[in-house]
Amino acid sequence: MTAPSRRSLFQMIGVVAGSAAMYHAMTELGYAEGSSFEGPIKLSRPPAGSSVLILGAGIAGMVAAMELRDAGYTVQVLEYNGRPGGRNWSLYGGDTYTELGGATQHVQFDPGQYLNPGPWRLPFHHRGILHYARRMGVAMEPFIQVNYNAYVHSPNGYGGKPQRYRKIQADFHGHVAELLAKSTRQNALDQAVSKEDREILMQALQAWGALDGNYEYKKGVASSMRRGFDVDPGGGIKSVPVPSEPSALSDLLRSGLWSAIGSGHNYELQSTIFQPRGGMGTIGKAMGANLGPLIEYNCKVTDIRQDGEGVTATYVDSRNDGAPRTARAQWCLCTIPTPILAQIPMNVGAPMKAAIDQLPYLAAVKVGLQFKRRFWEEDEQIYGGITYTSLPSTTISYPMWDYYSAGKGVLLGAYTFGRPAYLAAAKSPQERIQDALRDGAQIHPQYPAEYENGVAVAWHRVPWAMGCQGAWTEEARDQHYNNLCALDGRILLASEHASRLPGWQEGSVTSALDAITRLHARVVQP
């Protein structure tokens, strides 16, 4: 390999430093500090007759309802759906889902199979949501974020052939280590690295990049111990391993696949991550059962009005728009998604109203695909984890339950944000499934023969959310975030959209706890 130019070297360092630089930037923005959860909340007993009306039985609404109830408040929860959970939601065989526009899908998954259309991961440091899941008796199993044997894929690299994550990561680290080692030897880093440190750096690069005795990344046992062998070592006579040939640096760089090996470095996606056994929706279901008759289902809120003594919500039956009814309490905690809340007449001040009006929800799409057999396990030894592709489907994730079972399995066949998600939302559910099948077949040729049925959820078409999560920008946050979260008379808001953990259930939990803590302080010290 020829020596790199100074410029390309810095570019490479930039890439390697990417996650560290990103982490630093995120910390400064207040994102990467983890959850603000500080253990179970303890509210003192409020004055007799204190009451709170909660709009929305999602994670935020139900966490608030449980804690306020336990403190002694009279609590009533109104929920649009006929089930608890909100975006905490799993789809099972036998479920029916009708999206905006009227398309109805009858989920045909086998028993034990499911899709989490919304949140699907619980990072270990999201202690709030994990606390409540534990309190509800929800069993946890590990979520595999990084699987070295899953694929990274782009039609523009390696002839469109999917590459094992392991090989791309090993080759990227190896080539970068070799370049840095070369530069160090040529004294190109003199100003940055002292003479004593240079020896240590050389050792580190050799170990980190799996370089050989000459500080080169090339075919041999050292590199194959990272990227895998052409023939694995074995026992007995046929025991000699055959090393594999690393890919060329230029092929690797031009494939773009190096950009797909960083997700697990992200603080929120570092091991250990959990998923509830049997689907994310088990948490919401358990909270709903805990609250029992305190939740009134099938309620579409049409008006929210506060006066000197309390707040009145007017609502109709969400299934048939029947006669209006009202619910009233001294205070109101509203968790309705902002795209919907923006349309509900509500007499709050201009700052909160402006904050609500400027916060649409992002586009996101998930597609679940049931296959007759778990070919990713049987043929390709992929057990859980994620394959990334530059095709519109973006993310393919393998079921992280029932490994080695002989039966069927449901893949997450597509999980996409941004423009691909807008395009998918404009299509019918069947077309979304067809697109996911077409993309996936480029990675797994078994798709056409093994596919059975699927379900596709485009979040802008979800009737009770109108998007997947608050679409904050930094500028909008500076201008509106505090106004969105502030108590306005007798009304205050909670949700992931009122948190700095957008799209995470931990944001919902910590938002709810922060909101009721402030509300309670106001109640006990008027």
460-479 residues in contact with other proteins (CB under 8 A) are 460-467, 469, 471-473
Omega cis (within 30) before 282: no
Taking the C-alpha atoms of residue 362 and residue 496, their distance in angstroms, rounded to an integer, is 13
Of 243, 399, 420, 440, which one interacts with other proteins (CB under 8 A)? 420
187 binds other proteins (CB under 8 A): no
Total number of residues that touch other proteins (CB under 8 A)? 76
142 binds other proteins (CB under 8 A): no
296 binds other proteins (CB under 8 A): no
169 binds other proteins (CB under 8 A): no
Give me the sign of the Cα torsion angle 368, 374, 378, 379. Answer: negative
Q: Rg of the chain's alpha carbons, rounded to an integer?
A: 26
Of 339, 384, 399, 413, which one interacts with other proteins (CB under 8 A)? 339
Q: What is the DSSP string of 429-469?
A: HHHHHHHHHHHHHTT-TTHHHHEEEEEEEEGGG-TTTSSSS
Of 504, 513, 516, 519, which one interacts with other proteins (CB under 8 A)? 504
Helix then strand count (H, E) for the chain reads 17, 24
Taking the C-alpha atoms of residue 274 and residue 480, their distance in angstroms, rounded to an integer, is 33
Shortest Cβ 286–other proteins spacing (Å): 22
Interior CA angle at 374 toward 448 and 429, to 5°?
50
Q: Which two tokens stand for residue 153?
A: 């894929």
357 binds other proteins (CB under 8 A): yes
In this complex, which beta carbon is closest to other proteins, that of residue 233 or of residue 349? 349
Taking the C-alpha atoms of residue 164 and residue 176, their distance in angstroms, rounded to an integer, is 19
Region 32-91 residues binding other proteins, contact defined as CB under 8 A: 32, 80
Region 103-132 residues binding other proteins, contact defined as CB under 8 A: 119, 121
101 binds other proteins (CB under 8 A): yes
Of 259, 302, 240, residue with least CA distance to 154? 259
517 binds other proteins (CB under 8 A): no
Region 362-401 residues binding other proteins, contact defined as CB under 8 A: 362-364, 386, 388, 392, 394-395
Q: Which two tokens stand for residue 445?
A: 């040729």
297 binds other proteins (CB under 8 A): no
203 binds other proteins (CB under 8 A): no
206 binds other proteins (CB under 8 A): no
Of 110, 360, 438, 441, which one interacts with other proteins (CB under 8 A)? 360
Region 314-333 residues binding other proteins, contact defined as CB under 8 A: 318
Shortest Cβ 266–other proteins spacing (Å): 6
416 binds other proteins (CB under 8 A): yes
Please give the biggest Cα pair distance in the chain: 87
Question: Strand pairing partners for 153?
Answer: 389
15 binds other proteins (CB under 8 A): yes
The three-class DSSP label of residue 348 is coil
In this complex, which beta carbon is closest to other proteins, that of residue 55 or of residue 181? 55
